[in-house]
Structure 1
Amino acid sequence: MSLGLLSLNEGPRKQGRFVLEILCLLPNFLPPIFILLSTLNIIEPFPMGVAGIVIVHTLMNFGLVAVLLAGIIENKMGGMVELAYVEGASRRYFLWKGLFPTLRKDFWLLGLFIFVVCFGSFAVPLIVGGGKGTTVEVLIYEKIRLSSDWGDAVLLAFLQSTFIFALSFIASRGKGSHSTRVANLSLIKSRSGVVVVAGLSFLYLFGYVQGFVSGLSMISTFYEVQSALFWNFLGSMALGLSVGLLCYLGLLAIAYCWPKAWFEKFLNGYVAPSTSLACFSLLILTPNESFYPFIKIPVALTLLSLNSLFRMGWDSELHALQSQMTVAYAMGASHKQIFKEILFPQISTRAGLLAGIASVWACGDFAVSRILAHRDLSIAMMTETLMSGYRLNQAIVLSSLIILSGLLCFTACVGGSRVLRRKFAP
């Protein structure tokens, strides 16, 4: 698939590559509930357990791997591909003798990264594990929820966090490179890769659209719960905007503490706390009713999302401004002045964009909310309830409100960050 993306890197075809990359990344950046709904609707009967978890994670991450690998090949192998093409090497010979041996370490680190992401997953095993695919995260959840065994749960969470920290620290040591010019990649381009990307993208899009169309015939069943739909939509908006605001402040706090070598190493190695343990820790702090879930759920989602946002370009954004900070320090500027006059005007918009992504994730969350809420407080939770009752078509129709609330929250976060930049920037 990555070779298919590389076949669209010249002239007017670049627009087609941009569209395909969006389709590739969509399953990874949308809340997991959409891929779960689409997959469950297409594959009948769905294999619950480890096989089902693997299928869902593959559909979620295939596009991300293709895009990352295409970038690695383009930046690291462009000159070598061009030289092999001029020398008359065959495509198959170059792939086996040139590309795979050269990028062996990159393949290893990329695989390690995906392993870490899937190893710490909670939402997917919770829905499609079916009791047969109990992961460490689900086991922690069961230890606390079913047997109230906090000792074993804390020990499991500590071992899991240590293991993920070690692996993610290794995965973060891969160094990227940037090509200075566009190379001729005709030797390794593959039109069949475009077909594979389009086919898999069509698979999950068709599953969702087909379920949505089928569910429209049952829309009358929602008339009885109009009041619940209205209040849960407002609940989704409240959760999304709260998480967006907290993530925006969290990203600015990271920028304020920058640069510190130990802090960067920690952020590169740290993935996220155990979802189950973090949620249950917040659960016992205050009552699980009234307005308390609207405080605890955003805090939990921020803790779980912030490091992912850091890895989605926030670190490179701060590295790009490090030379300006060094000059400012040399000229006697204070840390507070540097943040206010140099960093904030340049990073506020990017922080708002990343916070908007986090707000979309929050609107589609059901796993964290299911632990910390005493009843359905959002559209995602209502959708998950319908999924559990095997009413998939109705759940898909209802999930369209998640998209609407996510778009509204995303727009509010991006627009708000721009307003703050203009208002407070000197």
Structure 2
Amino acid sequence: MLDPLTIERMQAAAGDGPIVVALSGGGDSVALLHLLTERLGAARLRAAVVDHKLREGSDRDARAAAESAQAAGVEAHVLELSWPQSSSRAHETARALRYAALCAQARKLGARVIAVGHTRDDQAETVLLRAARGSGLRWLAGMRSYAPAPLWPEGRALRLARPLLSARRNQLRAYLTTRGASWLEDPANESEIYARVRARHVLARVEREGLDPMRFAALAERLQLLAHRIDEQAAALIAEAAEFKEAEVVLDLESWRDAETVKRRALEALITAVSGEARGPSPIQLESLSDALKQAEFSGATLGGAWLQARGARIVIRRDPGALTGRAGGAGPLPPLPLRMGEETIWDGRVALNADESGWSVVFDGKTPLLQRGEERRALAAASPHWLLRERVRHVLGMD
């Protein structure tokens, strides 16, 4: 049931380090843990159980999941989520916090790979939901079996593996039953409050009518080939036609006026990298930019946290200063970021810094980032900056 190619890639990326297995205690993740234990050995694995703190008894279930992993010989860790007071407890927020916790634990353990138990059923549900929302090609391509971890900068240089993406949910439960293994059933998985549960029920009705709901997953597989080809071409275009200058990228305006599919994807990656934002520009924003670039009088635009400025025959893409200083009615200015001596810190998702003295913070003075300690200020160069634009482009395009 494990995909051999995904396992091969996991092992190559992990090197001599451990592999983190995201364990919820549900049937899919328990099956993943057992299958990986059989294939790779318990000593190679570290189970990470995320307690979302969203319902009474979640801590008890998390402990039970961890104990089941330990009984199988796998070292286990329970990660308790801390919810910001102002945050919504919606699915997207929970997902971001969960992956942030998994990425942090992977770094702590010296792991480069996180394995999750998504199945072919999950893939079909994902594609159905995205199709209902009118998503484009890239989103309809669904989840990849092996990809960069889906957060930035938390997921930098980490891989997310889905070795069960070709397996059906009922296959996994049959496997666990033959082993006499138990698993937990989360009541939320039957609540139609959640869109994914509604999608699951729709697919079940489709199957009862004699149709194959896994055609949605098959569609994702075909579209992934096309999306990957576009990403490869976008990466080649960037390597050939984009000039990187630390915190900005310079392009030839004329050669980018016709922003068709590949160029649009390349622009998306460049804008995301320059902005440092967690998410890139939306498809609607990219379409508007594409239309604007075709105009002879194009002078510039701001989108996705980046500022595109026409300078003669060139376009300079740099960070939108308004995103750092704050705008009326919007988010406030970027707060100072303390640096820990001897530890790498990433500022604004764009630059990795290493301070060799304590007490320093990164501040933005309206024009450029600086180091500050009390009344003393220094140039950013004092913290050995390493700009991450090229690395982020590879992350966006799945080339990590």
Task: Point out which structure has higher relative CO (alpha carbons under 8 A, 6+ apart).
Answer: 1
TM-score strictly above 0.5: no
Choose between structure 1 and 2: higher strand proportion.
Answer: 2
Choose between structure 1 and 2: higher helix proportion.
Answer: 1
Q: What TM-score results when the alignment is normalised by the length of structure 2?
A: 0.24
